[in-house]
Chain A
Amino acid sequence: MNKKALISTQQLIKHYPVGGGKFTALKDINLNVISGEFTGLVGPSGSGKTTLLNILGALDVPSEGNAVVLDHSIGNLSHKQAANLRNMYFGFIFQTYNLLPVYTVYENVEFPLLLQKLSHTERDKAVKQALEWVGLTDKIKSRPAQLSGGECQRVAIARAMVKVPKIVFADEPTANLDAENSHNILQTMLKLNNDIGTTFLFATHDEKVITYLRRKISLNDGEIVDDKVI
């Protein structure tokens, strides 16, 4: 590899306390992801996809070993530093969209930019751009309850993309969508990956998603069992 890794892990282990003992959800994960990848963590339910994604997204910390993302060691970050990392460089897309119901489409997409304390004009420009990317410029004033699942997820993509992050973490982004909407969403994300160069890291077991991936990292029982470029 000639490019510097955006993400790298060494002997990453994650335990969860269960009852009196502990449950090991990730065992010895060693992984590198470089800029511009469109990569998926795939595997059966309970294999540790979400757990790994959350750690790489600085929402959780490793129990042992190391996870370095954008030159930050995840385990050593303060709450504030982790928040700043997510705020400036990460985008998140969730299975259940997680839009704020009381906000309009526009306000939902604008939200991350408010946290970045951008000016009104900067925000307005970026929000309109992001909504254009996902083809929702006509729904600016709608609220999430008035949108279809596919539209909601496109708002979520716009929200993740509006700050042009380095990495987008997407956990089962198509799980609540039908086939047509899933393809729609994936094509949108693939296009953004191509045009803007944003790195996408998925956690999924959806075959439709897998067909779009350019690299597939297979997890089973908390271990990487396969890692191949398609």
Chain B
Amino acid sequence: MLSIKLAWRNLIGAGLRTWLNVFVLSLSFLIIIWHKGIIAGWDRQAQRDTINDEIGGGVFWHKNYDPYDIFTLVDAHGKIPEKMQTEIKKDKLSPILITQATIYPEGRVQTILLKGIIHSQTVVNIPTAKLSTNMEEIPAVIGTKMAKNNNLKVGDVVTARWRDANGVFDADELKIVEIFKTNVPTIDNGQVWIPLSKMQSMLQMPGEATIAITAKEDGLRKNVGSWIFKDHNYLLKEFKEMIKMKNFGGYVMWLVLLSLAWLAIFDTQVLSIFRRQKEIGTNIALGMTRGQVIKIFTVEGVMYGVLAAILAVLYGAPLLYLQAKNGMVMPEGSDEYGMAISDKIFPYYSFGMVLITATITLISVIIVSFLPTKRIAKMNPTDAIRGKVQ
């Protein structure tokens, strides 16, 4: 109690210098929490969107399917087995047939992925119901980015050209019936969705698919014959790795700020121990032990941490809260990562994350405050009283 009281008196007495240290420290607190909050918010949003819009509860891949090698698509299709058919009938599985195609919007040549999907499916969040129309052209839905990049609007008609199962070129007109908004670029950029049955007949691949998306709540979760089930762990691996990298970047930033705070506190401590040696000597003459003096100086340092935490809460909590509530607008072009990212991210602050961050910061500050006090233990009080220690 005594050391807390005395340390407090000393800090208040030191004035501006105290508040400067406290501010730098509070900033380092806040920035890491803020950064981690954004990443966590993005992580949650992106995983949710990816699951809802693209991968459901996991995806069956035809054994030849390789999303990174577009030329495998020629061989990556096969008959949908009986077991999966049952699931499809229950709307627990959504088969997709994929092929490479070319469209000619406004006379330009554009390579795309043509994807056949059952119009009645609800497994993924794509407005496939719009594909259920009777028209001369093939109905197609596309994402907003695809629409923007190719200047396509609802009602536009474009020519598409593809090769069928025998490698023979064929062509037909596509009519855009719907443009949908998604945060998942992999179902948007360069993708055109058309009715599965239509596509199967176009390609002469009746009853075939390339992949099949399972419902996110329940459904098949194990390989079926030559159809390999890819779970969330696998499908989100890359994304999770990128989140890790982003977090790492945050730690680096945190460390830089934290070292600034360490330096400020260390410097303040060394300087004040030198400047206040007369005070230290006097305190000892007045009956303090060296241990008590060291304790006061350490407590002063710790108080920086505590004050910084309080300050961070005072000005930081409202800011962070507002942002968590209203979301943070992401700059244009943020989706170039190729990862699901929405226009607005809602930072997410977990109690554990804030606690761990605060604890690490505090402990490091205690250590940094304590280190310079070793000088006090070596001080000769008779010299210190006169301020003669070098």
Residues of A within 8 A of B (CB): 50, 54, 57, 59-60, 79-80, 83-84, 86-88, 90, 92, 94, 96, 98, 100-103, 107, 111-112, 114-117, 159
Contacts and interface: CB of A to CB of B under 8 A. Distances in A.
A115 B2 contact: yes
Those 8 A-B pairs whose CB atoms lie nearest each other, nearest first: A102-B13, A87-B287, A98-B282, A83-B289, A86-B287, A92-B285, A54-B382, A115-B287
Contacts of A84: 287
Interface in B7-47: 9-10, 12-14
Nearest to A89: B287
A57 B291 CA distance: 19
Contacts of A100: 13, 279, 282
A80 B9 contact: no
A58 to B, nearest CB: 9
B385 A98 contact: yes
A94 B2 contact: no
A96 B382 contact: no
Given A94-B385, A100-B279, A117-B2, A86 B285 contact: yes
Contact of B13 (A59, A103, A112, A116): A103
B286 interface: yes
Given A59-B381, A60-B381, A107-B9, 7 more contacts: A84-B287, A86-B286, A98-B385, A100-B13, A103-B9, A112-B286, A116-B287
Contacts of A92: 282, 285-286
A115 B288 contact: yes
A188 to B, nearest CB: 19
A80 B288 CA distance: 8
B278 A98 contact: yes
Nearest to B287: A87
Contacts of B12: 102
The CB with the most chain A CB atoms within 10 A, among B285, B382, B387, is that of: B285
Given A54-B382, A103-B13, A114-B2, A88 B282 contact: no
B6 interface: yes
B284 interface: yes
A83 B295 CA distance: 15
B290 interface: yes
Contacts of A90: 285, 287
Contacts of B374: none
Interface in B267-308: 278-279, 281-282, 284-292
B299 to A, nearest CB: 14
A138 B74 CA distance: 98
A59 B5 contact: no
